[in-house]
Amino acid sequence: MEERNKTLGEFIIEKQEDFKYSSGELSRLINSIRLAAKVVNYKVNKAGLVDIIGKFGEQNIQGEDQQKLDVYANEIFMQTLINREIVCGIASEENDDFLTIEGNDGSHNNKYVVLIDPLDGSSNIDVNVSVGTIFSIYRRVTPVGTPVTLEDFLQPGVNQVAAGYVIYGTSTMLVYTTGNGVNGFTLNPAIGTFYLSHPNFMFPKDGNIYSINEGNYVHFPQGVKDYIKYCQLEEGDRPYTSRYIGSLVSDIHRNMIKGGIYIYPTSSKAPKGKLRLLYECNPMAFLAEQAGGKASDGFGRIMEIQPTELHQRVPFFCGSYNMVEKAEEFMAKYK
């Protein structure tokens, strides 16, 4: 008989002893993210109904429900983490600066900082396309007991203790790593429980999907242009298939299942790239590497970049190991 699928709650408890610092704090933190994800999921799924429900005069529908979903998601994730007093600081893609969190008694005794993109790809909401939440967790580097500083957030990705994403798609999934492989959980909306559906999630080593906004082709560096032409060449298993949702979480999620590469390069319009190192690239890079894939800025490992500012942008190449390696070969020709 097949083993009954584990719930995320059961999985977190079971894995707690594997954590390097097993005080239960990280488990509680991931539990809070699980809770916030369910609340945001409820709201995202209801987004298209707002007008209809509104017509029936439901109370409070104006104002609260018309709030932009990315703002709402930001508030939910922030509040959930703040209320539980489990982090000492949060930085969000939605806010200019980081937030220092103190306990009810004014103490600063928590160990972890969270960086979050509460609703990535939110321009897709209006057209009913999947969006996602991306999160990244570090241990603070300043002494426990003191307020967090910028230094606690500006850590290279290799220091991450956990990272993950939530995809609000045809099914809602939470996919995360604590540095021991990647596991994916699918929400059963009827009972509001995440079940382990993708244990030991792995990127195929090779793939045949390339995901890039080709509309910007003329603005791309020559290495990227050449790589795109390579993807389109009729040879061996090529031409590859082009798939671009324009929602990072969805594009990476699909490529992780099917095998593929996601690229957001520099361009003459966005000389540093578009995606944020701390909120988008590092967590995705941690997941990719833990799933046997690779993440690069075109020349070197994303997770080794020393961040200099909270909202720093970087070019991003992420996906099946061999595909990213190939793209780097093309980039290296024009270094």
Where is the binding site, in residues? 93, 117, 119-123, 213, 244, 274, 280
Long-range contacts of 99-108 (CB under 8 A, 24+ apart): 100/147, 100/148, 101/148, 102/147, 107/145, 108/144, 108/145, 108/146, 108/147, 108/148
136 is a site residue for ligand AHM (CB under 6 A): no
Structure tokens at 24: 């239960």
94-127 burial, b at 16+ Cβ within 10 Å, e below that, comes to: beeebbebbeeeeebebbbbbbbbbbbbbebbee
What is the smallest separation between the CB atom of 246 and ligand AHM, expressed in angstroms?
4
Residues from 203 through 242 that contact ligand AHM (CB under 6 A) = 213
Summarize the annotated binding site for Mg(2+) as residue ranges: 93, 117, 119-120, 280
Query: Whose Cβ is closer to Mg ion: residue 120's or residue 297's?
Result: 120
Q: What are phi and psi of 105, to 5 degrees?
A: -90, 10
d(CA 81, CA 59): 28
302 is a site residue for ligand AHM (CB under 6 A): no
Summarize the annotated binding site for substrate as residue ranges: 120-123, 213, 244, 274
Interface with ligand AHM (CB under 6 A), residue from 37, 113, 163, 248: 248
Tell me the angle at which helices 282-290 and 248-258 cross, rounded to the nearest 10 degrees: 10
d(CA 96, CA 149): 15
Interface with Mg ion (CB under 5 A), residue from 65, 70, 94, 117: 117
Q: Map tokens 């909202």 to a residue.
A: 311
120 is a site residue for ligand AHM (CB under 6 A): yes
Element (H, E) at 264: strand 260-264
What is the smallest separation between the CB atom of 70 and ligand AHM, expressed in angstroms?
8
254 is a site residue for ligand AHM (CB under 6 A): no
120 is a site residue for Mg ion (CB under 5 A): yes
Interface with ligand AHM (CB under 6 A), residue from 31, 32, 41, 122: 122
What is the smallest separation between the CB atom of 304 and ligand AHM, expressed in angstroms?
22
92 is a site residue for ligand AHM (CB under 6 A): no
Residues from 265 through 284 that contact ligand AHM (CB under 6 A) = 274
Structure tokens at 294: 């690779």
**Binding region for Mg ion (CB under 5 A):** 117, 120
